[in-house]
Amino acid sequence: MSEEAKPLVKWAGGKRQLVDILFKSTPIEFNDYYEPFVGGGALFFKLYSQNKIKRAYLNDYNPDLMNVYAVVKSRPNELIEELKVHGRYPNEKAAYYQIRQNEPEDMVCQAARFVYLNRTGFNGLYRVNSKGKFNVPYGRYKNPKICDEENILLVSEALKKAVLSNKDFEIVRQQAKPKDFVYFDPPYHPISKTSFTSYTKADFSENEQVRLRDVYSELDGRGAFVMLSNSSAPLITELYSNYQTQNVLARRAINCKADKRGPVNEVLVSNWRS
């Protein structure tokens, strides 16, 4: 039986495979922890399991994802009950599309629908159409685990240390103080035109990458520990040329074309020397 909270959702760009490398690169001691692009939150859960989190600020622009965290934090047992109901639906295409089509108003039911679609949809992708409707196709998994009761309770415990928000990443400018640790894991700047960058209705453009670098520099000037993951695209190496950059090789499953799913070079940019 595992005792460590693990990411609740499969997430494009999720850091599960890289989390040990990332963990080794974190500051030995810091005050509060910030993840303004939390996604699946792999590094947060790792730091929590190593007793490194005093208080965390977890943010993501995706409202459906942040609703799941809010529900898991304060109403985990209601979510478990709801997911048990979802687990009784037959694992077949028609049931998937029916649940995808129904959009409940209650926040616990919304969270259960999100977890169900994340477990049973293609590659755990999150994608919405121009009207904001979730449109990922059925994933054809043999035996998806819809309700991981033990993990939901562990995650709920971990989230008691976290302040949750659903804002643009710049919120961290108002929050982080000297000696706090900020980890940015934004949508990656594409190396190729087919790279996956869309998690919400708004895309993360070149201007957004520049805006993020400006926030990075501001927090650096303030005396916070700042770390960023991104692709090794020339724009990124140029934007962070004043900082220490480490290359990391990651195996990505976020491209829907199998031949584009090989290892890609990512960079890890930090503003301190460990």
Ligand X SMILES: C[S@@+](CC[C@H](N)C(=O)[O-])C[C@H]1O[C@@H](n2cnc3c(N)ncnc32)[C@H](O)[C@@H]1O
- List interacting residues with ligand X (CB under 6 A): 11, 13-15, 36-37, 39-42, 60-62, 168-169, 185-187, 199-200, 204
CB of 98 to ligand X, least distance (A): 26
Nearest to 56 by CA among 41, 68, 78: 41
Contact, 165 vs 61, CB < 8 A?
A: no
CB of 15 to ligand X, least distance (A): 4
**Cβ-based nearer residue to ligand X, 37 or 114:** 37
Closer to ligand X by Cβ: residue 14 or 139: 14
Residue type, 39: G
- Decide whether 19 or 153 has the Cβ nearer to ligand X: 19
| CA 125 and chain centroid, separation | 12
Task: Choose among 85, 87, 116, 91: nearest CA to 101.
Answer: 116
Q: Which is nearer to ligand X, 161 or 211 (CB)?
A: 211
Smallest distance, Å, CB 186 to ligand X? 6
Strand order in the sheet with 263-270: 162-165, 56-59, 33-35, 181-184, 225-231, 263-270, 244-251
Which residues in 189-210 are b (16+ Cβ under 10 Å) and which e? bebeeebbbebbeeebeeebbe
**Shortest Cβ 181–ligand X spacing (Å):** 14
For residue 169, the minimal CB distance to ligand X (Å) is 4
> Which is closer to ligand X, CB of 13 or CB of 76?
13
